[in-house]
Chain A
Amino acid sequence: MLLLIGSNTTDAHPIIANRMKKAAKKGLKIVVIDPRKISMTKSSVKHLPLRVGSDIALMNGIMNVIIENEWHNQPFVEQNSAKFEQLKKHVASYPLDKVEQITGVDKKDIFEAAKLYALADRAMICYTLGITEHHCGVNNVFDIANMALLTGHIGRVGTGIMPLRGQNNVQGAGDMGCLPNQLPGGISLADSKYRNTLEQAWNVSLNPTIGKTQTGMLEKMEDGLMKALYIIGENPIVADVHKNHTTELFKKLDFLVVQDLFMTETAELADVVLPAKGWAEVEGTYTNTDRRVQRVRKAVSAQGIALDDWKILSDLATLMGYPMNYQSSEQIWNEVRQTAPHLYGGMSYERLEKEMSLQYPCPDETHPGTAIIHQELHLKGKKDRLAPFTPVDYTEPVELPDQNYPFTLTTGRRYEPYNTHTQTKYYPDTLKRKQFEETVDIHPDDAERLTIKNGEYVLVSSRRGEVKVKARITEEVQPNLVFMSFHWPEVPTNVLTINEFDPISGTAEYKACAVNVKKISS
């Protein structure tokens, strides 16, 4: 059984979607929880079309049904978790009638989904940005963890919680320590023993204060306290919420460096732009969504005098008085293995060459890698370290529709373009595609009421800005909900989105803001 929540897998992770569809044909029961009638609903046994942002109400409702019917995994809960009574009491305040009212999902369907998930021999949850891109993104994830802990659907084949990563190396970038609170190897910055080890290995004293998330950095820019920003291979001007505001903030910086493949909208604002080598021009490794480390190899020469990103940074470090003399990506990887042996100790380039991929943790050369983590949860007996349930409450999206802005806009990805389209816009013209420009996807009832025809250009506006975009009439969206992607810079959807963020993760509420849709008067 697969609970797919907040993931339009078919468009965003097509090959994973193919495997899901294939499994569905062989009997995998898929329940889709998504505001839109996404393509995967065709392979599902049930679709719960919840209102945007009502995930916690729905999951609390599901857990309440599970506990009331005693479908939870009592021995697993007793041996592995803490605060079960708190969770039980908390979700009891989410009876089905109330949950139906908040989510708009038929209570019979909620009951059935709860039963399918809880009583399945093996059940897994896959989620994507539909969970995280909310002001309550972290709480959404807590509730997913609550469900897995309640049912024991974790730590065995065919179970678990799987966030599907949007970029090839989201997993790896975090694991390498590109986070304000995390050092290489997934170790907390607060771990002073590990920090000391690094200080000795790197021959520096490290700053122990947790850094800023991107959101926090932007706030410091607003206050004039952030003077310099160095951006590698990102286009935040187009990708971030409330585009006009982000642009103003970047202009406030004393110094902006952008290292990229192209002169992006963000690079245009920079003081210095550095040409980097890209995919197919570099050697190295990526870590996929499955903790699988795989090699990427050089196939062609780079253009001009572009350099490896690591080479640029190493040369700059050396100039600034901290010598870094790396000669190859393999040499860097071997330092990573030494720095985080608990994860990568056994993953030499030689082994990756031979075995193609290895999943961490892989601590030594004879270790086969780890396909499934948290297996120890299924050992008998009460554990020393218990996983606490974290009861969370539903909070409605920050900006709800009203008279002036009667629609909810939710954003996401489409199949063909990738993110801000800086790479996929180079598809050959001869390549058959479904979509060549952005659309605002709108329900037929809404379109009829506003006398909007399919393919007609309309104005979509929010309290922050306005864009002109083609209407696409489709039942994929519910009435009063519209959908847009952020792929085409010609239609900068993120001038509309709201700069409200999850207080813990700093992730913006891309999934919900209030907009108006208007015919362009002729």
Chain B
Amino acid sequence: MSERTQVETTCAYCGTGCGLIIDVEEDRIVRVRGNKAAPVNQGQTCIKGAFGYHYIHSEDRLRTPLIKKNGKFTEATWQEALNYISTKLTAIKQQFGGDAFSMFACARATNEVNYVTQKFTRAVMNTNNIDGCNRT
């Protein structure tokens, strides 16, 4: 039998913030259950919290950066993809100004990601065109 480890975390679906325990075997999630010590849910979970993790190991996950060439996506390295984006965004900023750029931030991502997202938008692109699905 392979070793099973437990990781305490917080659910990523709705805004309730249920505490979850993830059981991991061979780098795969094998089970998710409610954390009894968690203040919000005291061990309970809904169907999404307990069973909504299978997408993580799906074959359909994006695995590499993709650049569209002649209408078709082709695999790229990080260096290629980020250089391409950097060149395009720099050109757009120079020609049209930062306000020709918009950022849709992600209300499912961490606070840390969101902080960096707005800092990128404001400090690098020099615009406040940043919003999320917060409104819906």
Residues on A facing B (Cβ under 8 Å): 12-16, 18, 129, 132-133, 164-181, 183-184, 189, 202, 204-207, 209-214, 217, 220, 225-234, 236, 239-240, 254-255, 257, 260-263, 267, 270-276, 278-290, 292-301, 303-310, 312-317, 319-320, 322, 324, 326, 329, 332-333, 335-336, 339, 356-357, 415-416, 418, 422-428, 431, 433, 505-508, 510
Task: Determine the chain A residues whose CB is within 8 A of the CB of B10 once the complex forms.
Answer: 168, 286, 288, 294-296
Majority-rule SS of B interface residues: mixed
Tell me how far the C-beta of B51 lies from the nearest C-beta in chain A, rounded to whole angstroms: 5
Tell me how far the C-beta of A256 lies from the nearest C-beta in chain B, rounded to whole angstroms: 9
Check: B1 CB closer than 8 A to any chain A CB.
no
| Contacts known (A230-B101, A418-B13); A167 close to B113, Cβ less than 8 A | no
Is A168 in contact with B17, judged by CB distance below 8 angstroms? yes
Is B65 in contact with A356, judged by CB distance below 8 angstroms? no
Please, how many residues of chain B have a CB less than 8 angstroms from a CB on the other chain?
97
Task: Determine the chain A residues whose CB is within 8 A of the CB of B92 once the complex forms.
Answer: 227-228, 254-255
Is A290 in contact with B111, judged by CB distance below 8 angstroms? no
New A-B pairs, 20, CB < 8 Å, besides A207-B127, A297-B9, A320-B124? A166-B136, A169-B110, A173-B111, A173-B132, A178-B131, A226-B100, A229-B104, A230-B101, A236-B104, A262-B60, A275-B65, A285-B112, A300-B24, A313-B117, A316-B89, A317-B120, A320-B90, A329-B112, A339-B115, A508-B136
| Contacts known (A289-B17, A431-B51); A262 close to B102, Cβ less than 8 A | no
Is A260 in contact with B51, judged by CB distance below 8 angstroms? no
The 25 listed contacts between A and B (C-beta, < 8 Å) are A15-B41, A168-B15, A172-B107, A172-B111, A178-B131, A178-B134, A180-B129, A189-B128, A217-B102, A226-B101, A229-B102, A232-B117, A239-B136, A275-B64, A285-B112, A286-B10, A286-B12, A295-B10, A296-B9, A298-B7, A300-B29, A307-B78, A333-B111, A427-B51, A433-B47
CB-based nearest B residue for A268 = B73
- State in angstroms the CA–CA spacing of A12 and B131 once bound together: 23
Is B108 in contact with A168, judged by CB distance below 8 angstroms? yes
Task: Determine the chain B residues whose CB is within 8 A of the CB of A179 once the complex forms.
Answer: 130-132, 134
Check: B2 CB closer than 8 A to any chain A CB.
no
Is B116 in contact with A332, judged by CB distance below 8 angstroms? yes
Task: Determine the chain A residues whose CB is within 8 A of the CB of B136 once the complex forms.
Answer: 129, 132-133, 166, 239-240, 507-508, 510
Task: Determine the chain B residues whose CB is within 8 A of the CB of A305 once the complex forms.
Answer: 63-65, 78
Tell me how far the C-beta of B95 lies from the nearest C-beta in chain A, rounded to whole angstroms: 8
- State in angstroms the CA–CA spacing of A427 and B65 once bound together: 26
CB-based nearest B residue for A328 = B112
Tell me how far the C-beta of B106 lies from the nearest C-beta in chain A, rounded to whole angstroms: 4
Task: Determine the chain A residues whose CB is within 8 A of the CB of B60 once the complex forms.
Answer: 262-263
Most interface-central of A169, A257, A275 (chain B CB within 10 A): A169
Tell me how far the C-beta of B129 lies from the nearest C-beta in chain A, rounded to whole angstroms: 4
Is A427 in contact with B52, judged by CB distance below 8 angstroms? yes
- State in angstroms the CA–CA spacing of A7 and B10 once bound together: 23
